Every structure is written in C-alpha cells, then in structure tokens.
C-alpha cells in the first residue's frame, strides 16, 4: 500500500481564494474591510517570519492588516494596554498575539484580555469553553484546518475511531473536541499513555501533535488509516513531522506531508476566522462556503 498524500497547500490556497471572494460583499455591507491585528513581542526569527506571512496573506485577501512589533523588553502592562486598545478599535475584527511571548510576560494573562469576539486564534478560555460544550465559538486555526482536511478526504466522519496524540491547549485538546463534534469516537493519547503504539493502532484517524520528531512509525498504524501530521521539527536542516513519513506512507491510506500539509492551513483558517468574526461583529450572517 502507498498512501495518498493530502495536499494541504492546495486546499489552503482554495480556502484563501474563497475568503478573498467573500471580502468585497462584506465591505459593501459593513462599509469597511475586515481587519486583523497581529502583535509581535521580541525578535524571535520564526515568529517574525510567521507575522510577515500573516500580514501578506491578510492584504492579499483584501483585508486590512495592523501589525504591532514591540521590543523584547516590553512590559506585560504595556502589552495588555495595547490589546485593550485593539479591543476598542472598530477597524479590528481579529486580534492575534504571536506566541511564544518573552519569559517575563504571562501568556494566559495577555490572552485573557483579548475580546473573545476578536479572538481569532481561539485561545481565550471563553472560546475554549464554548467549543467544549458544543456551542459556536472561534476555534484554534490548526485543529480547524485539520478537520477541514479530514472532511475533504473522508466526507462524513461519524462513527470513525480517532486517536489524537498530544494534549496541548493549542492543538490536542481542541482537536479532540472538534472530532467529538463530528461524532467520532476519540482517544487522547499522551506521554503517560500505556502501550502508545497499540492505542494509535486503533485509529481510523490519527492526528499527531506530540512535538517529537518522527515518533509515530508505520507499524503503529491501522492499515488504511488517515494520518494528519501537525508536527514541525527540524533535523539536520530538514523539516520533518511527528510521523515517520516513509514507513507511515506504506501503511496509511492517506497522510499529510511535512512541509506542505497542515502548515499552510493555519494562515488560511486564520483569514477565515477573521472574516467570520467580522460578520458576527457587524451583525451579519456567517459567510457561506467557509
């Protein structure tokens, strides 16, 4: 068996095009463009690349982009003041504070200040709670992108057994909640799971978000499983996922590559979340087809 490769880059491009097509109608009705504010604190090279990419994608979709780049030494109170000013700014529909923040700043305290209606990263406890109890919420971009790829590949996910490897607040936990919402039977596995390969082998769907390079091997997988690899790890200058792609591709039915799988979906879903937030804030029905 040779697994089909799930082209996240192509799917993400189509999603970005659909968002861009929907922006003019919103601007016509609301009298303004949807706006995304991205806040970067410090000089982390990877974060700078992400922020630059997000800004370019926002402008390419016809939205307004507001970038705030602050010095590494910026205090928590100053950052909180900025976020509160963005909460009050009617031009801004989405606020994203790029993580990680410098050590002297409490991530949770800053995220907790973001208006939940503008929390396009879906990290605010109110949005996390809404997702957990099955209410409408702004959902973290990476897990939502994974769900989109799964539904595009498999259609109805009802009744499938899904294993999520990883329990972070950013990916693992919201991923499990989204799969439950799709009527999957979900197991969340982690570093304390006993006989992890046997647990993973139950999955019709396996989402790898453990943060350990090439941890999941092909013989851990049920033949024909659909594998979504969220991991991004650098080994000897090469990007690899949390799944050993070569051995997994020999067993799986379909698999996302690294790079080119889940990664491109994150920014595309961020644009989608911003447009969705803009509609809600303007009292307009949610955009269709996104």
pLDDT at 44: 86
Asked if residue 1 has pLDDT above 80, the reply is no
CATH architecture of the domain 30-121 equals 3-Layer(aba) Sandwich (3.40)
Mean pLDDT of 173-183: 98
Confidence of residue 265 (pLDDT cuts 50, 70, 90): very high
Annotated catalytic residue, options 33, 98, 177, 242: 98
pTM: 0.96
Residue 89: CB atoms within 10 A of its CB come to 14
| pLDDT tens per residue, range 14-63 | 999 999 999 999 999 999 999 999 999 998 888 888 899 999 999 999 99
Per the annotation, the verdict on 54 as an active-site residue is: yes
Long-range CB contact pairs, 233-240, < 8 A, 24+: 240/213, 240/214
* Phi and psi, residue 91, nearest 5°: -75, -20
Tokens 């969340």 locate to 188
Per the annotation, the verdict on 217 as an active-site residue is: no
Per the annotation, the verdict on 177 as an active-site residue is: no
Matching CATH topology for 30-121 and 141-263?
Answer: yes
pLDDT at 45: 87
Q: What is the DSSP string of 112-154?
A: TTS-GGG-TT--SHHHHHHHHTT------HHHHHHHHHHHHHH
Annotated catalytic residue, options 54, 118, 173, 222: 54
Annotated catalytic residue, options 93, 115, 119, 121: 121
Confidence of residue 151 (pLDDT cuts 50, 70, 90): very high
Taking the domains of the chain in order of start, what are their residue ranges?
30-121, 141-263
Best CA proximity match to 10, nearest among 238, 268, 218, 276 = 268
Which residues does 14 contact at the CB level (< 8 Å), separation at least 6? none
CATH tag, 141-263: 3.40.50.720
Which residues does 65 contact at the CB level (< 8 Å), separation at least 6? 35, 36, 38, 54, 55, 58, 59
| pLDDT tens per residue, range 152-169 | 999 999 999 999 999 999
Percent pLDDT > 70 in the chain is: 100
């Amino acid at each position: 068996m040779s697994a089909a490769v799930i082209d996240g880059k192509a799917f993400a491009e189509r999603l970005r095009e659909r968002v861009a097509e929907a922006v003019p109608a919103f601007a016509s009705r609301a009298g303004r463009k949807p706006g995304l504010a991205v806040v970067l604190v410090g000089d982390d090279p990877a974060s700078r690349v992400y922020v630059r990419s997000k800004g370019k994608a926002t402008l390419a979709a016809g939205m307004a982009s507001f970038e705030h780049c602050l010095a590494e030494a910026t205090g928590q109170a100053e950052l909180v003041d900025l976020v509160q000013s963005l909460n009050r700014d009617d031009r801004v529909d989405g606020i994203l504070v790029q993580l990680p923040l410098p050590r002297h700043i409490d991530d949770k305290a800053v995220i907790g200040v973001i208006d939940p209606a503008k929390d396009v990263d879906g990290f605010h406890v109110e949005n996390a709670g809404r997702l957990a109890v099955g209410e409408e919420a702004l959902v973290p971009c990476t897990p939502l992108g994974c769900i989109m790829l799964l539904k595009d590949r498999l259609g109805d996910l009802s009744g499938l057994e899904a294993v999520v490897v990883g329990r972070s607040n950013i990916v693992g936990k919201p991923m499990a909640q989204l799969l439950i919402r799709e009527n999957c039977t979900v197991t969340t596995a982690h570093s304390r799971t006993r006989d992890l390969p046997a647990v993973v082998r139950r999955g019709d769907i396996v989402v790898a978000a453990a943060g350990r390079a090439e941890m999941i091997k092909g013989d851990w997988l049920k033949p024909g499983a659909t594998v979504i690899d969220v991991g991004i790890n650098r080994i000897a200058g090469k990007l690899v996922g949390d799944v050993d792609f070569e051995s997994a591709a020999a067993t799986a039915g379909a698999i996302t590559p690294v790079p080119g799988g889940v990664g491109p979906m994150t920014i595309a879903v961020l644009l989608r979340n911003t447009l969705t937030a803009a509609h809600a804030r303007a009292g307009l029905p949610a955009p269709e087809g996104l």
